[in-house]
A and B are shown apart, each in its own frame.
Chain A
Amino acid sequence: MLLALSATVIVIVALLWDLAWPPLKDAYERHRARRALVPASMDGYDPGRERRAEQRARELLCSCVNEEEWAMYRDLGFIRVWGSLAQGPARSGGGSGGERRPAPGAPYAYLVYPHKPIVAYLPQTRELLSEYCVEFPDETRPYGSARLPDSDDVLAKWMALTGDERRVIGLANLHLPGRQVDPKHVRRDLWRLAQWERARLERSSPSEGSVPAP
Chain B
Amino acid sequence: MCPARPWPFAIIALTVRLLRMKPGHGEVLLAEGDVDVREDEERLVEEFRRQLDAGMWAAVPLQSVAGRREAVMVKTFDQVPREADRVIFFPRAAGGA
Residues of A in contact with B (beta carbons under 8 Å apart): 44, 46, 49-50, 52-57, 59-60, 62-67, 69-70, 117, 133-149, 152, 155-156, 158-160, 162-164, 167-168, 171-173, 180
Interface residue tally on B, bucketed by range: 20 to 34
Query: How many whole Å from A118's CB to the nearest CB in chain B?
Result: 10
How far is it, in angstroms, between the C-alpha of A172 and the C-alpha of B90 when the chains are bound?
Answer: 16
The 8 Å CB contact of A59, one of B4, B22, B90, B95, is B4
B10 contacts A by Cβ under 8 Å: no
State which residues 56-81 of B face A: CB under 8 Å: 57, 59, 61, 68-73
B25 contacts A by Cβ under 8 Å: yes
Most B Cβ at <10 Å: residue of A144, A155, A168: A155
Query: How many whole Å from A158's CB to the nearest CB in chain B?
Result: 7
Task: Give every chain A residue within 8 A of B73 (Cβ-Cβ).
Answer: 159-160, 163-164, 167
Contact (Cβ within 8 A) A138 B26: no
Contact (Cβ within 8 A) B97 A133: yes
B92 contacts A by Cβ under 8 Å: yes
| 17 CB < 8 A contacts A-B | A49-B24, A53-B23, A53-B24, A55-B26, A56-B25, A56-B27, A59-B3, A60-B88, A64-B88, A137-B94, A145-B23, A146-B23, A148-B23, A148-B91, A149-B24, A155-B90, A167-B93
